[in-house]
Structure 1
Amino acid sequence: MSSLKIERDTVQTAIQQGVQNAVDAPRGVIASTAAAVTEAASGNLPGTKGHHPVAAVVGTAVTGGRQNAGTKGYLAAYLKQLEDNPLRTKMLTAGTLAGGQELIASWLAKDRNKHGNYFTARVPKMAVYGALVSAPLGHFLIWCLQKAFKNRTSLRAKILQILVSNLIIAPIQNSVYLVAMALIAGAQTIHQVRATVRVGFWKVMRVSWITSPICLAFAQKFLPEQTWVPFFNLVSFVIGTYINTITKKKRLAALRKKHFGDGGRPTGGSTMGRPEDYPPLGPNPPY
């Protein structure tokens, strides 16, 4: 019986060592991932029970790799940065998300520049907007909101906080957003900027009034206050990517129709070009 136990322990140790070697060895992404999933399925990955091996491996990768399995990893480091350097961290987060949103939306909508690239001039401009405009503005407005309702945890206070957010903060943020989008899209006159804001304001506000109460109620219940702005930025990233993709597709369809006409052939003997080669449609469409 004792020899059987020793043999079983030896086999188990050998399996674990083999899995570990497979994960650590540079055998390629597929082999390492398969070995990690096997390890998670057997419950040998720290912090997991083997019920959801694929999710466990993804979570381990996101939070810092196997050496940080069972710990908070990257998330803890990010939260610490939020606490130590809140504005800088929010600026980097918002800039990355804004630039990423534009790049992903361009790829989804097949919106290329005249060189055929999805990395258009709008990508760095959006990143700058996110870092230097959106993040500081959101940081200040949310700070004001949190300060106004500090230590007020009643249901009435939470509802009032949601109303203030939707009726005061959201209109300010959305107006600044539309002005920035008009300028990034190439607006050169006050009339073009005003037209963009006028056309897009209530559309953006309707989206805000649907999503903002849900997000704010979730943040009130589950999130520490210093994580509110990054959380709202993440939600805006998902919604904004969808809206941006739809807007780009509509804009490209309108440009193609104007360029080709209803017959599907180029007018005036011209050939199909990139969106930036087309003549403008008048006042800049809202992005």
Structure 2
Amino acid sequence: MLNVHEGTLCFLQEVLGSTIAGVPVARPSKNAPSVVHLLAALNVDLKALKMAIYGFLVSAPLGHFLTGTLQKAFAGKTGTGAKIAQILANSLIVSPISSAVFLASMAVINGAKTVDEVIKTVKAGFFSVLRVSWVVSPLTMVVAQKLVPLDLWVPFFNIVQFVLGTFFNVKVKKLRLAAAKKAERERKEKEKQDGSSQE
């Protein structure tokens, strides 16, 4: 059941990110099935469907396994030292694994075709993602330790991840959109200059 929730959250994260950032979905051809036109009108594209698959097959099982393992390792330990050790274990073991898997998956979803391309993507973004995780993760872990029942930790972390993921998704999409618009302006200016110099 958690897999379905995670898949749905990843799907919504992509659709919301595109919608909020104002990134248009490629319009289907006129002879495409009506369901494809409906999905495009709702800002749903192939990437959103891939994100749902990622959430269902990768993110949910991994998150459930890592959080469950962390809980088992610290089961029954309620002292301050144990709580600090749990935060450190989360930051130094769980976060790096989650960050690497997330980046590798995003590389594939965004079109990486070779293992080398995936590795380059992971290397390029690993410490940026990890730094954010090291700020957010201890805070969410403290909240979970104090306020969230153990059986609700996975959904709690999924919601936090959804909010942050949507925020970063919007930010990245806006940057890409601005870069694409700038490149288009520069291309038009260059064409204009080339045209006037030929006259």
TM-score by length of 1: 0.60
- Deviation of 1:257 after TM superposition, in Å, equals 2.5
Match of 1:156 among 81, 84, 87: 81
**Structure with the greater alpha carbon radius of gyration:** 1
Higher relative contact order (CA 8 A, sep 6+): 2
- Deviation of 1:210 after TM superposition, in Å, equals 0.8
Partner Cα separation in structure 2 for residue 194 and residue 258 of structure 1:
27
Structure with more of its chain in helix, by fraction: 2
CA contact (8 A) 1:105 1:242 kept: yes
- Which residue is equivalent to 2:33? none
SS state at 2:24 partner: coil
Match of 2:140 among 215, 226, 242: 215
RMSD value over aligned CA atoms? Answer: 1.7
Partner Cα separation in structure 2 for residue 141 and residue 125 of structure 1:
23
CA contact (8 A) 1:260 1:266 kept: yes
- Which residue is equivalent to 1:100? 12
SS state at 1:194 partner: helix
Amino acid at match of 2:19: W
TM-score by length of 2: 0.85
Q: Which 4+ stretches in 1 moved above 3 angstroms?
A: 266-269
Matches within 5 A, 1:65-144: 89-115=1-27, 117=41, 118-144=43-69
Partner Cα separation in structure 2 for residue 110 and residue 123 of structure 1:
15
Partner Cα separation in structure 2 for residue 193 and residue 253 of structure 1:
25
Amino acid at match of 1:260: R
CA contact (8 A) 1:259 1:267 kept: no
CA contact (8 A) 1:95 1:128 kept: yes
Partner Cα separation in structure 1 for residue 144 and residue 109 of structure 2:
31
SS state at 1:113 partner: coil
Structure 1: unaligned runs, 5 residues or longer: 1-88, 270-287
Structure 2: unaligned runs, 5 residues or longer: 28-39, 193-199
SS state at 2:62 partner: helix
How many residue pairs match? The answer is 179
The C-alpha deviation readout for 1:41-93, integer Å capped at 9, x for no partner, is xxxxxxxxxxxxxxxxxxxxxxxxxxxxxxxxxxxxxxxxxxxxxxxx21111
The C-alpha deviation readout for 1:126-180, integer Å capped at 9, x for no partner, is 1111111000001111111111111000000000000000000110011000000
